[in-house]
Structure 1
Amino acid sequence: MSLSRKEATTTAQVISRALPYIQRFAGKTVVVKYGGNAMVDESLKQSFARDIVLM
């Protein structure tokens, strides 16, 4: 997957804002619920997967 410049900039901004949370939960186990519409809607599946990868 190749990101456009705009997508890469947005991702970098999100990661920089999330850094305190990333540091707080580093090394911890996180449980994520996956179900409902996210399992049947293809665009939601892809969005969910991108969000998990970003985590």
Structure 2
Amino acid sequence: MKKRIQKAETLLEALPFIKSFYGKTVVIKYGGSAMVSEPLKESFAQDIVMLKYTGINPV
């Protein structure tokens, strides 16, 4: 339950940024240790999907 509350708090904190970037295209740099570590690769992919779901266009 604590994990869900923490996720909800994180989303509420991010809401102003989601609102300001909604419909915009953002350039994402992917490299370094994020390309080497499997957990970081997965986390990066999840973050990109979340951006798309919130109406932000990552490239």
TM-score range, shorter chain: 0.7 to 0.9
Provide the aligned length of Structure 1 versus Structure 2.
51
Deviation at 1:25, TM superposition (A): 0.7
Deviations along 1:8-35, one digit per CA (max 9) or x if unpaired, are 2222111111111111111100111111
From the superposition, tell whether residues 52 and 11 of structure 1 become closer, same or farther in structure 2 (CA, over 3 Å).
farther
Higher RCO (CA < 8 A, seq sep 6+): 2
Structure 1 runs (4+) greater than 6 angstroms displaced = none
Structure 1 segment 1-55 matched on structure 2, within 5 A? 5-55=1-51
Higher strand share: 2
**Superposition RMSD in Å:** 1.5
TM-score, normalised with respect to structure 1: 0.73
Percent of paired sites with the same residue: 55
